[in-house]
Structure 1
């Protein structure tokens, strides 16, 4: 009997999303504050989705199109965003921890007041992306395309930007190492009122 209960608990943990929420989202592309945790939403056309405040922990969005979607205040811990199109989407105040983000398109997206932690993203597209008062902890944006992006009131201490393109990016009121300040100058970023520390 113990083993039977353990198996049931294991299965339920693998499929922890709310089935009604999932069906509602797939039929309407709108599901505010719903539970879609661990749902497989890969290879889908999900443009203009409304997922404000949703629990998207462990969701698989790989190869999906979320163009112009509203993900304000969502939790995306352990989510798979590989090859996901989030162009012009709103991820303001969202939480992205341990997210897979290779080849993710975030052109023109808004990640202001978001929390980014333990991310290593390859071939990341950040053209004209907004990072206003965004929190970074152990985040690697190396070689990302971040031209015309906006970083304001950001601490770059735990943000790796080696090889990233920052041409015409606006970086202001932020904390950076002297090395990163020099790198932004070399990249012809528009940097002002920043604190460059040793």
Structure 2
């Protein structure tokens, strides 16, 4: 009996998107765009308009923000580990100190974003726009940057940033 319960629980957790997210927090975010310190783990926020949202210190691990608008959103010290953020608009977003380990930011617009002290280890930034972004002291070990636009990005102190394979027009200015 206990083995059967464990097996069913494991199966539900495997296929349950957003099961860990606090649904009250999800509603508050969608209604007010204010959700500091919220638990949004695994939530489906795909294609949502969250421009200017306050998500400081929130847990957004494994969240789906694909194609969402997060223009000027405050994600300071938020956790977005393994989040799907493909094609999202994060222009001028505050991601200072955010944990973006193994996040998929492919084709995301991070132009003028504040990524100071962000942890981007293992993140996919393929074809992302990081022009004018601030990557001061960001952790980039193992980040995939193929086709990323780093024009005028501030990269002083960035750890693990490998740029030698970027074409000349995409080289960051130091």
Q: Same fold (TM over 0.5)?
A: yes
Residues 108 and 130, structure 1, Cα contact 8 Å, conserved in 2 = yes
Structure 1 alignment gaps of length 5 or more: 172-198
Judging by fraction of residues, say which structure has more strand.
1
1:122 matched to 2:123? The reply is: no
Match of 1:44 among 25, 44, 48: 48
What is the deviation of 1:77? 0.5
What is the deviation of 1:40? 0.2
2:60 counterpart residue number: 56
2:161 counterpart residue number: 159
1:7 counterpart residue number: 8
Structure 2 alignment gaps of length 5 or more: none
Task: State the SS of the aligned residue for 2:122.
Answer: strand
Q: How do 1:20-169 and structure 2 match up within 5 A? A: 20-155=24-159, 158-161=160-163, 162-163=165-166, 165-166=169-170, 169=172
Question: 1-side partners of 2:99 and 2:136: how far apart?
Answer: 14
Distance verdict in 2 for CA 1:23–1:12, change over 3 Å: farther
- Deviation digits for residues 28-84 of structure 1, max 9, x if unmatched? 111001100000000111111100000000000001110010000011111001011
What is the deviation of 1:119? 1.9
1:179 counterpart residue number: none
Q: Max radius of gyration: which structure?
A: 1
What is the deviation of 1:5? 5.1
